[in-house]
Amino acid sequence: MKTKSRIYEMGGVITEADGDYCTLRLRLPAGIVTPDQLIAVGQIAQKYNIDNVHLTTRQTIEIPHIKVIQLEEVSRELLASGHDIGAERAEVVNITACPGTDRCKLANIDSLRLAKEIDKRYFRKDMPGKMRIAISACPNACTSETLNEIGITGLRNPIRENGTCTGCGTCVQFCRENAIEVRDGRIVMDKKLCLECGTCVRSCLYGLLQSETAAYRITFGGRRGRHPKVGMHLITVNSEEAVLLVVDAIIDWIYRFARLDVPIVSQIGKDLNFEEFKANLPKKLPPGSVVAA
Ligand code: SF4
Ligand code: SF4
Ligand code: SF4
């Protein structure tokens, strides 16, 4: 009984429609799972006659239809196999991230490393409500990061270098936003149309389009669900270190000021003064970290 209540405290137990059964949700930051962990899930599911597992929208695995009387035993086996359980109640829930520079040729940032680092810092931290964090390594937004309480997007701002542009038009072809034109044999960029995806930088064979270090645009206040909302731009910074400091500041702000009985996003403009927080945020970062929006 003692172990069972500890399992419930880990936040990954979901009671099913038939109250004799429950679902266990695993904690898998960025959906990364080792072959051994996958095998273990399969073997445990088979042992308890569970004929399927569910891959969730937050990149984790749920093991459904566990008899409540076997919950303690199943949980113990999962923990022994190197899994962790959690991420369903009011806490920082499973961090989602796209593959990023690990394997996507469009990526501007190492989203997997960042996801693991954020998870390491906030694993099972109690919060006043669910805190969802998602990371996409470019504006293609494969994780729909702006629909999370905290969204992080990797950017690359193209800068025209000195040199002889051949006017070949390759970068124009690659830009899906029509933000580049060739006029009189030279490129002209329209920054208002540019999403800072960085594709043109990678396309120019002559290296005439360059970029400063990648940037991280951070949004706050997005959500999915019944009343979806796109998060508001909070800050754009130029290092992973600064991103982690921004996430630290947001978690601290929410933990201290948000009420327990209301979804976090609904408190913006009431208990949570977004504009004041946004204005004071740069003071918490190393000089030179903030990129002009
Ligand atoms: S968000 Fe961009 S970098 Fe990440 S997987 Fe999608 S296309 Fe690749
Ligand atoms: S960064 Fe992307 S959107 Fe901006 S000009 Fe280059 S290709 Fe176009
Ligand atoms: S910037 Fe590079 S890719 Fe674009 S037109 Fe000039 S030479 Fe071609």
Higher pLDDT, 110 or 261: 110
Residue 293 has pLDDT above 70, yes or no: no
User: 143: CA distance to ligand 1 center in Å?
Assistant: 8
- Looking at residues 109-124, what average pLDDT do you find? 93
- What would the pLDDT profile of 18-29 be if each residue is shown by its tens digit? 999 999 999 999
Mean residue pLDDT of the chain comes to: 92
User: 239: CA distance to ligand 3 center in Å?
Assistant: 28
Q: What CATH topology corresponds to 96-155+215-284?
A: Sulfite Reductase Hemoprotein; domain 1 (3.30.413)
Q: Report residue 140: phi and psi, to 5°.
A: -65, -20
- pTM of the model as a whole: 0.93
User: 190: CA distance to ligand 2 center in Å?
Assistant: 9
Structure tokens of 163? 């040199």
Residue 4 has pLDDT above 70, yes or no: no
CA distance 69 to 143: 36
Residue spans in the chain of domains classed CATH 3.90.480.10? 2-80
User: 293: CA distance to ligand 2 center in Å?
Assistant: 16
Residue 79 has pLDDT above 90, yes or no: yes
Pocket of ligand 3 (CB under 6 A): 165-171, 182, 187, 203-204, 206, 208-209
Structure tokens of 165? 């542009």
- What would the pLDDT profile of 127-182 be if each residue is shown by its tens digit? 888 899 999 999 999 999 999 999 999 999 999 887 778 889 999 999 999 999 99
Q: Report residue 212: phi and psi, to 5°.
A: -70, -170
End-to-end CA distance of the chain: 54
User: 105: CA distance to ligand 1 center in Å?
Assistant: 8
Ligand nearest to the CA of 199: 2
Which residue, judged by its Cα, is nearest atom 3 of ligand 3?
204
User: 15: CA distance to ligand 1 center in Å?
Assistant: 34
Residue spans in the chain of domains classed CATH 3.30.70.20? 158-211
Atom of ligand 2 nearest to the CA of 203: 7
Is the distance from the beta carbon of residue 187 to the nearest atom of ligand 2 less than 6 Å?
no
What per-residue string of b and e applies to 75-111 under the rule 16 or more CB within 10 Å gives b? bebbeeeebbbbbbbebbbbbbbbbbbeebebbbbbb
Per the CB < 8 A criterion, the answer to whether 210 and 159 are in contact is yes
Is the distance from the beta carbon of residue 194 to the nearest atom of ligand 2 less than 6 Å?
yes
CA distance 284 to 237: 12
Pocket of ligand 1 (CB under 6 A): 98-100, 104, 106-107, 136-138, 140-142
Ligand nearest to the CA of 196: 2
Atom of ligand 1 nearest to the CA of 136: 1
* Percent share of the chain, pLDDT over 70: 98
Ligand nearest to the CA of 209: 3
Q: Looking at residue 217, what is its pLDDT?
A: 98
Q: Which CATH entry fits the domain spanning 158-211: 3.20.20.100, 3.50.30.60, 3.30.70.20, 3.20.20.70?
A: 3.30.70.20
CATH H-level, domain 2-80: superfamily:
Sulfite Reductase Hemoprotein;Domain 2 (3.90.480.10)
Is the distance from the beta carbon of residue 199 to the nearest atom of ligand 2 less than 6 Å?
yes
Q: Count the residues in the chain.
A: 293
Residue 2 has pLDDT above 70, yes or no: no
User: 191: CA distance to ligand 1 center in Å?
Assistant: 21
Which residues lie closer than 8 Å to 278 by C-beta, 6 or more apart? 234, 235
Q: pLDDT band at residue 184, thresholds of 50, 70 and 90?
A: confident
Residue spans in the chain of domains classed CATH 3.30.413.10? 96-155+215-284
